[in-house]
Each structure stands twice: as structure tokens, then as C-alpha cells.
Amino acid sequence: MMTEIDPKLADAAWRNGRDCADVAFLHQPPPWSDEHAEKIFEQMASALISSFPGGHSAFAPNAELIAKNAREGFDERLRELMAGPSVEGSQRSS
């Protein structure tokens, strides 16, 4: 069962998802298959979570919501990057 998470945590997850897309895009620009994009996101999200004190267990109670927010940021930023250099970073609407 998912519960509400702190808006600051949700926003941080979203921003980190965007950062993951930036790094992935610079490392290997698309086109990617859906499976490849999923693999990139999972690897980067796992590395990011592991870098925090407590690692994965610290995020366990809200892991699903955190992952959802991070994925939204990742997908949004990837669309921006694929659209070209004229697209600037966006602000998340609450």
C-alpha cells in the first residue's frame, strides 16, 4: 500500500530522475529501445539510492512512490533532450 511522501522527497526524486536522464543521454545518446531505457533508469536509480545513508532499506517504505517520481523526471527530461538544444530545463508543476 502506498502512502503519501514528503513533497521535498518527491521533488528530490523527480530532480534526480532528470539528472539520470542527463547523464545517460551524454553517455550514450538515443535512440534507445524501451528495454534499454528501462535498464539505464534502473541502473542509475539503484546507484543513486545506494549512495544515500541507509541505502535501499532507507527508502523501502516509500520506494514505489519515490521510483514513480524519479521515473517521471527521467522521462520528462529525456523528451526534452531528444527535442533538441532549444528546450531548457523545466520546473515541476505541483
Per-residue model confidence as pLDDT tens digits over 47-79: 767 666 666 666 667 777 888 888 899 889 988
Q: Distance (Å, rounded) from C-alpha 49 to C-alpha 27?
A: 20
Which one has a higher pLDDT value, 55 or 26? 26
What pLDDT score does 43 carry? Answer: 80
| Angle of the 34-50 helix axis to the 7-27 helix axis, nearest 10 | 120
Global pTM exceeds 0.85: no
> Could you tell me how far CA 27 lies from the centroid of its own chain?
16
> Which residue type occupies 32?
W
pLDDT score recorded for residue 76: 94
DSSP 60: G
